[in-house]
Amino acid sequence: MDVGAGTGILSLFAAAAGATKVYAVEASGTAQLVNKVAKQNGFDEVISVLNCKVEDVELPSGVRIDVMVSEWMGFYLFHESMLNSVLAARDRFLAEDGVMFPSEARLYACPCSLQGLYEEKITFWNNVFGFDMSAVGSSVLDATAKKPEVCVVKQDDLLAQPVCIKTIDLRWVETNEITKFSENTFVSITKRAPYHGLCLWFECDFNGLDYNENGDSIGELVTLSTSPFSAPTHWKQTVVTLGAAGTERSSIGPEDGLQTDHDIADDTIRTKSKFIEVEEDEVIGWRLEFEQSESNARHYTITLQMLDPEEDEHPEPCSCGMARCLIIAKLIENEMQAAAGTKCNPEPVVVEETAAN
């Protein structure tokens, strides 16, 4: 089953790979095109187009789906995503030993500097043919802090090691796990730079690994990455931007607009933070919360709150580089190794003094 088939390309791939029956589910008028392209490619007997919402699909009695595929991912994974619909289809139609493609999705976050973008959109206004038009730049900066900015972020603009803040196993995840979730994160800064916001991106695994009757591994694991370290995709990256120094940002409604490469017009960001300059080895922290809209499951409110590394609780383990986190991480590692029986005498914990202490 191809959930949200669109023009039918995934259905064609499935049929070409040898599927005996493909149910292409598409609620829009594009479903008529899927019928045409299926016939053009000789798969009209294999691909059955269902022009309705997947929630309204009724399959023949006793039919279960072996493989469910969907390109449900949106900007920062969740914006305008079809994940709720995909999970509903999974629960109704997937066989007990069925496979989900993608099989796993991961959301990453990393502090970033958008110096080039800010110079183009904001500091440009400081001197326009000799005139001080910085009021315009301030207005643009104020608007930028209200909505996610979708753009290509260079890996050189990242200010720390990326952190995975959410992992979804598509075979078993429940809808309540994506309705509202949050994560406290602390990282060590790798270079001095202005801290403009958090860069978000995702990876999706398509796990086709299996074993034959001889126990030999067959198939492969394919990963789709939208990170700054990979080739750009149409998802680009999403940046939750911070406001100017000395300003506070509270609740912002969807009526506030923002001109970006892709304006995420219906998502809301609440930020409680200040624009700061960060130094190498400095530890910074944040709490990022995602909450699904009650009226539209495809929209989320993102709340970003900056945390104090000295005062606020760190997750365990935490790789931020502060002495106490290094000690805890090492102790946890030793306990796991001891429990696995791989080490009888755990190594003593040795922590070097750094500026991150």
SS3 percent helix, strand, coil of the chain, rounded to 5, is 20, 30, 45
Give me the residue label for tokens 């995602």.
290
Question: Which ranges of 21-121 would DSSP assign to H, the alpha helix?
Answer: 31-40, 83-93, 115-121
Residue 14, judged by CB atoms within 10 A of its CB (0-12, 13-18, 19+), counts as buried
143 phi/psi in degrees, rounded to 5? -70, -35
Q: Which of 247, 229, 242, 308 is nearest to 269 (CA)?
A: 242
One-letter amino acid of 261:
D
Give me the residue label for tokens 């998502």.
267
Which residues carry out catalysis? Answer: 71, 80
Give me the residue label for tokens 């007997």.
45
Q: Which helix (H) or strand (E) holds 145?
A: none
